[in-house]
Chain A
Amino acid sequence: MKSEARIAYLFAMPWILGFLTFLLYPVMASFFYSFTDFSVLRPPRFIGLENYKEMVQDEVFWMTIRNTFTYVVAAVPLSATVAIILAMLLNTKVKGLAFYRTLFYVPSLVPMVALGILWLWIFNGEHGLLNMSLEKLGMSKPPNWLGDPAWSKVTLVLIAMWGSGNAMVIYLAGLQDIPQSLYEAADLDGARLVAKTRHVTLPMLSPVILFNVIMGMIGALQVFAVPYVMFPNGAPARSTYFFTTYLFDNAFRFQRMGYASAMGWVLFLITLTLTFVALRLSERQVHYDRS
């Protein structure tokens, strides 16, 4: 057995080395750097809690927190709702189901940067497909999706739904796992679609919903590529300046790796806290026991 264990460790060694070198070490190093003034080329200089103190007084930091939270609060439930509805539609017995499933999943495979460029054209205020359609429908002054701070975050929330295909596949698997007998019992009780959805589908799907919401929340807290491509510098007027964009700017544009590391740890703590809160709040609503 001992020899087998050694062999097993040997085969796992590439991953272990990769984990230690490319994950654990950078994570630990960033924790140390968060207490330093570090501009990459010069040796880090220990400054205690200065980076964290500065963050408290940094207006832009708080602005990015507000922007990120607004985005999370709007995008996560909306994306989850869309994904659940799509999954429920695709869980019915209609012709060409496999085709539809693929069709709705494919968008989530499009690379983020390509996606950003694509949406720039769709949301263009003057020549965009969306505004041209809205004008044809009779709206005389459709929103300036990209240039107006009141609409820029809405634009990103709408775009977030584009990637619902990933979550949809997981919901679909969850839906197919719900015992048919429960629906039959509900039928006998005279339940209709709404009642069945409310009293059977959603409770039985609740563990999957919780998982997807937590994953979606973590993803939304780290939103970066699409706003970075579509709204350089957090434009307009920093309305799309998110936490990770500001972190990136501090690290690579402003060469303040210490401050960026501290921001990274704050984001980690925020994510941890929100995940914990989500788990605690959902204890009564999530049903794990299917017996």
Chain B
Amino acid sequence: MNIRTIAITAAALGLLGYLVYRSEDATTRKPVANKVTVLYWEKWTGDEAMKMRRIVNNFNASQDHIYVKMLSISGVADKTLLAASGGNPPDVAGLWDTQMTQFKDAGALTDLAPLAKEFGIKEEDYIPGYWKLMSPGGTLVAFPTTPASTALHINKKFLKPGEVPPQTLEELDAFTDRISKVKDGKVELAGFMPAEPGWWNWGWGYWFGGKLIDGDKLTINSPENIRAFEWVLSYSKRFGVRETQNFQSGFGNFSSPQNPFMSEKVVSVMQGVWMANFIDLYNKKLPWIAVPFPLPKDQQHLKGMNFIAMDTLVIPTGAKHKREAFEFIAFVQRQDQMELLCSSHGKNSPLVKVTDKFFNTHLNPYIRLFDELARSPNAAYIPQIGIWPQMDSELKNAFTEINLGTKTPKEALDAAQARLDPQWRRYQQQVMGRSITTAEAKP
């Protein structure tokens, strides 16, 4: 090999190396003079991202040694995970609460307890349900950006003057029977549909006193869950399987004027605190109220039952500037910033202390109800289990099979339990490193 060839090869490799080095630098951490750049990947895009950016700007304006660079990233969870495995994750990532346990078990998240202590952030500052979502399995791995609670939203046009909204599930069923319209085999109006919007199909059992996991035992096919799915089935029987399918296929996207609640095809829906924002955006004239989602007559002791959830900020394992990243997270947790963010997103606050101004100026006229629901000791949330994605997938499938009439609730839930049990045992052994006794290993 002559000198010229060696020189060309060396130059080519050098150029390649330089490009790899600079591309990382250019796309991620272009430094701001004399400041540590904290890279923040966020799932939000559009308006929601813009509102978060205001908080980031407030932080940056308050700083002389940290600069937070926020990037909206699609598929943020997968990318964060892969970036962490590649040793170059962002310093802060905006994820969902549904991923916390799985990510924590995978070793993808930093334990934030020591930093929280250092910054004086305490458990008592947060509404208990949200604190539990922040610390799956007792390890503090996330802090909230915006939380949510849920309630039944009713189109007021369909309530008689002075009529009290349904107080029990049985009254909701009767309300549905009274106002739904089915003409020539076509559903024209539905009082209520458990499958709309379909985001909590996994959780109807909670309304009947059920759970999906008890201790570390899966209870998918418990009598309470079967009862709940029988109630779900009663709705597809009420409207007809085919008729329900056709009716639902005509629904537009959630975030559009064709949303079935906004377009007045479905009179009442379970929705989160954010719904007021969307109503304001797509059908301002819609007269609506929000009430706690009714419970069956025999489950009234579960008063305050609703689903809570939240968007989270985490520091992935291997982040380069953990302390600075936490300084930013702590800033977001300040009451003024948190209320600014939550009110702009149309959410309730995750903090125990809330100002009157927050309640009085909030876009959602029922914000106090949502705040109350979030604080309820009966508030429920997704099971904190690392195989949640598998469980979610199985329950979605069971829900569809039941609605289509291809399986009875018991058959569908038995099948889901049978599939999930070995997966859970394997997960405990392989991911959590727990040894399983012979008795437990038996199906």
Contacts and interface: CB of A to CB of B under 8 A. Distances in A.
Nearest to A251: B78
A41 B389 contact: no
Interface string B226-255: 000000000000000010011111100000
Main secondary structure of the interface of B (DSSP, over half): helix
A236 B106 CA distance: 31
A144 interface: yes
Contacts of B387: 254
Interface string B177-203: 000000001000000000000000000
B33 interface: no
Interface in B146-199: 185
Contacts of A254: 387, 389-390
A40 B246 contact: no
A125 B250 contact: yes
Interface in A9-52: 10, 13-14, 37, 39-42, 45, 47
B242 A237 contact: no
Contacts of B431: 39, 42
B396 interface: yes
A69 B401 CA distance: 22
A148 B249 CA distance: 11
Contacts of B397: 233-234, 237-238
A3 B84 contact: no
Interface string B283-319: 0000000000000000000000000000000000100
Given A10-B8, A235-B400, A254-B387, A45 B250 contact: no
Nearest to A249: B393
Chain B, interface size: which category?
A: 35 or more
Contact of A237 (B8, B247, B404): B404
Interface string A133-173: 00000000100101111000000000000000000000000
Contacts of A67: none
Contact of A42 (B12, B106, B400): B106
Contacts of B406: 149, 237
Contact of B250 (A13, A42, A127, A148): A127
A6 interface: yes
Contacts of B404: 149, 236-237
A59 interface: yes
A7 B242 CA distance: 68
Nearest to B419: A59
A126 interface: yes
Contacts of A235: 396, 400
A13 B249 contact: no
A252 B78 contact: yes
B435 interface: no
B3 interface: no
B84 A41 contact: yes
B102 interface: yes
Contacts of A280: none
A60 interface: yes
B1 A126 contact: no
A29 to B, nearest CB: 13
Nearest to A13: B12
B5 interface: yes
B393 A233 contact: yes
B400 A253 contact: no
Given A40-B82, A144-B242, A45 B5 contact: no
B81 interface: yes
Contact of A40 (B106, B185, B390, B401): B106
A237 B108 contact: no
A108 interface: no
A40 B8 contact: no
Contacts, number: 87
A220 B242 CA distance: 30
Contact of B5 (A10, A126, A233): A10
Contact of B85 (A41, A124, A126, A147): A41
B221 to A, nearest CB: 16
A255 interface: yes
Given A40-B82, A45-B430, A236 B250 contact: no
Nearest to A238: B397
Contacts of B106: 39-42, 255
A286 B397 CA distance: 45
Contacts of B426: 54
B361 interface: no
B383 interface: no
Contacts of B5: 3, 6-7, 10
A144 B81 contact: no
Nearest to B105: A39
Contacts of A126: 246-247, 249-250
Of the candidates A14, A149, A238, A253, the one having the most CB atoms from chain B within 10 angstroms of its own CB is A253
Contacts of B242: 141, 144, 148
A37 B423 CA distance: 13
Contact of B81 (A3, A41, A233): A41
Of the candidates A42, A141, A147, the one having the most CB atoms from chain B within 10 angstroms of its own CB is A147
A196 B158 CA distance: 69
Contact of A6 (B1, B246, B249, B317): B1
Given A59-B419, A235-B400, A236-B400, A125 B81 contact: no
A255 B82 CA distance: 11
B107 interface: yes
A141 B389 contact: no
A98 B393 CA distance: 48
Nearest to A54: B426
B245 A125 contact: yes
Interface string A118-129: 000000111110
Given A149-B404, A237-B404, A255-B106, A40 B85 contact: yes
Q: Which 8 A-B pairs give the minimum distances between C-beta atoms?
A: A126-B250, A147-B245, A125-B249, A253-B389, A37-B430, A125-B246, A40-B85, A237-B400
Given A126-B247, A233-B396, 17 more contacts: A3-B2, A6-B1, A10-B9, A41-B81, A41-B106, A41-B107, A42-B106, A42-B431, A125-B249, A128-B249, A144-B245, A147-B246, A233-B393, A234-B397, A237-B400, A237-B406, A254-B390
24 contacts: A6-B5, A10-B5, A10-B8, A10-B12, A13-B12, A39-B106, A40-B82, A41-B84, A41-B106, A41-B107, A124-B250, A125-B245, A125-B246, A125-B249, A141-B185, A146-B249, A147-B246, A235-B400, A236-B400, A237-B397, A238-B397, A252-B78, A253-B389, A255-B102
Interface of B: 1-2, 5, 8-9, 12, 78, 81-82, 84-85, 102, 106-108, 185, 242, 245-250, 317, 387, 389-390, 393, 396-397, 400-401, 404, 406, 419, 426, 430-431
